[in-house]
Amino acid sequence: MAGHRIVADLLVPLDTASDVPLSRQVYNGLRDAILRGDLAPGTRLPSSRRLAAYLAVSRTTVLAAYERLVAERLVVGAVGSGSRVSDHLPAKPIA
């Protein structure tokens, strides 16, 4: 199932000993994956419950990360249809 592949692709490294809050670590991992192109525009993200279970964190942690991604317009969300990577991402920097 494609949904399981996406969850497996979202390997977000978490360091429970870090001073950085887990929600920030989840946000950073997802943001980096989006900006690197690992998660293409239009890609549906796993539900907050599924990602929380996969990462072994609380759903509140994932929701905080998703909310920040939505606020930065990297992710769009709609009730009933889940969250997707925005079709309008910032341009990649020129190397």
pLDDT tens sequence across 23-78: 999 999 999 999 988 899 999 999 999 999 989 999 999 999 999 999 999 999 86
Identify which of 40, 30, 53, 44 has the alpha carbon closest to the alpha carbon of residue 83: 44
The answer to whether the CB of 61 falls within 8 A of the CB of 22 is yes
User: According to the model, what pLDDT value does residue 82 have?
Assistant: 87
Nearest-5° Cα angle at 13, 7 to 16: 120
pLDDT tens for residues 1-38? 455 455 555 668 899 999 999 999 999 999 999 998 88
